[in-house]
Amino acid sequence: MMSEIIMTKLTIDNYNWWNPFTQINFFLKSPVIIEKAEGVYIFDIHNRKYLDVSSSMWNVCLGHNQKEIINTITEQYQKLDFVSPFRASNDVAIRLTDKLASLCPINSAKIFLTCNGSDSVEAGIKIARQYFRLKKMNKYKIISLENSYHGVSYGAMACSGFEEDKQYFLPIPDGFIQIPSPNCYHCAYDSKYPACQLQCASFLETTILKEGTDTVAMFIMEPVMGMGGVIIPPEGYYEIIVDICKKYNILFMLDEVTTGLGRTGKLFAAEIWNLSPDMMALGKALSNGYFPIGATVVTREIWNAFLGDDSVRFNHGSTYFGHPVGCAAALRCIELIEKGNYLIKISELSDFFAQLLKQLREHPLVGDVRSIGMMFAVEFVEDKELKTPLNSEKMKKLVIGCHTQGLWAHFAGNTMLIFPSFIVDRNLLETVYHILLKVLKMIEKR
């Protein structure tokens, strides 16, 4: 089969997979077809090797070909391959939800299992709206951050801040509002921290007052914005946000789809700021890519509001929510993260790589370098003073250059996002740095 694909020139007529977020015409000019993976490497059908510093889609945090997870999944398939989650339970889902409840920073947490990050956010939005309806309140509006990313389903997309993407899918459901994100490099108020007095945080209150305090149900944000370019809220931000949410009886949801399960160096990013949100969305690292699974974590108080006779229930769910094989994979993953002492390793590697990357700040094409845990962003600019994005021609060369040098990284606009898996070491990170330097030099010369 492999040779057949190598021999075939792929065209828009004979290529039948409609890949997500992909211009097929562009993709087919030099298609990358991955055939196998091992550890932090992926290999294409020509046996070209790429160092994957994106942990695939930020989810393969323990690397590829993890024998223990594969064995667990195989055993689970043989024992219980599937059972409907509707009004029936399964032992693995119970064990997984027990485990997540014991670990996550929400006391007496209850867990709604899903299939991915978008699902987890979508469920959170519906839970928030129904929660207030059950309390006989008409609070339905969802506030989120500009440039945030929460997923692709209608609700998750509506609270994402990527306006261009949304334009194709109008009309967007009602009641979704965005406020400026805590992005100090591109401050919406043209100010500097701490002189800014965190206007981006207090703008949440301004927005709630404008929208009507009795109409806002929830504020959702990523604790560290991933797709938005590793945006880390400055000290004091969360105190203001949490106070405002409490003051106006608004649910505070953290989207930990990317940050959850170790990515920031804590099991959950919420721990960095001592946050105990009302809801959390999980996905990505939960199964290391072995099975589509996510989770929406809620407080006991929210769960209580849904208890009653059978006419009151959360009428939401999909066939594969709580799939026993996904749950088994997730349980094993969590165990491996705990056993492998990854959180300690991440903090040591994070400091090391951050120091290396910081040297790039002197480079004429680099505007900013940001990092936390295993999340690194390098923002490329045309003009350091004006912070204008590197032009698209140079960006294209940068992307292709990295790729040609065997580096598999993710780019969001003019920002390179390096989210390596937790099994990398100093040598590999040094390699990434040197490839990046080399590619930047090549662009300068041209």
Ligand X SMILES: Cc1ncc(COP(=O)(O)O)c(C=O)c1O
Residues found near ligand X in the complex (CB under 6 A)? 116-118, 121, 149-151, 222, 226-227, 255, 257-258, 283
> How far apart are CB 18 and ligand X at their closest, in Å?
16
Structural contact between residues 105 and 182, judged by C-beta atoms closer than 8 angstroms: no
Sign of the torsion formed by the C-alpha atoms of 254, 258, 261 and 266? negative
> How far apart are CB 370 and ligand X at their closest, in Å?
16
Question: Residue 429: CB partners within 8 Å, gap ≥ 6?
Answer: 349, 352, 353, 356, 420
Which residue is closest to ligand X by CB?
Answer: 117
> How far apart are CB 45 and ligand X at their closest, in Å?
25
> How far apart are CB 191 and ligand X at their closest, in Å?
26
Q: Taking the chain, what is the end-to-end CA distance rounded to the nearest angstrom?
A: 40
| Cross-strand bridge partners of residue 279 | 253, 298
Q: For residue 351, count CB atoms less than 10 angstroms from its CB and return exposed for 0-12, middle for 13-18, buried for 19 or more.
A: exposed
Rounded distance between C-alpha atoms, residue 3 and residue 45, angstroms: 8
Rounded distance between C-alpha atoms, residue 182 and residue 202, angstroms: 11
143 versus 227: smaller Cβ distance to ligand X: 227
> How far apart are CB 60 and ligand X at their closest, in Å?
13
117 versus 180: smaller Cβ distance to ligand X: 117
> How far apart are CB 286 and ligand X at their closest, in Å?
10
222 versus 278: smaller Cβ distance to ligand X: 222
> How far apart are CB 367 and ligand X at their closest, in Å?
22
> How far apart are CB 287 and ligand X at their closest, in Å?
11
329 versus 439: smaller Cβ distance to ligand X: 329
205 versus 222: smaller Cβ distance to ligand X: 222
Task: Tell me which DSSP letter residue 165 carries.
Answer: H
179 versus 439: smaller Cβ distance to ligand X: 179
Q: Residue 155: enclosing H or E segment and its boundaries?
A: helix 154-159
Structural contact between residues 257 and 117, judged by C-beta atoms closer than 8 angstroms: yes
295 versus 436: smaller Cβ distance to ligand X: 295
Rounded distance between C-alpha atoms, residue 78 and residue 95, angstroms: 18
- Nearest-CA neighbor of 281 among 132, 141, 419, 148? 148
66 versus 118: smaller Cβ distance to ligand X: 118
Rounded distance between C-alpha atoms, residue 144 and residue 148, angstroms: 8
- Nearest-CA neighbor of 314 among 105, 117, 125, 155? 125
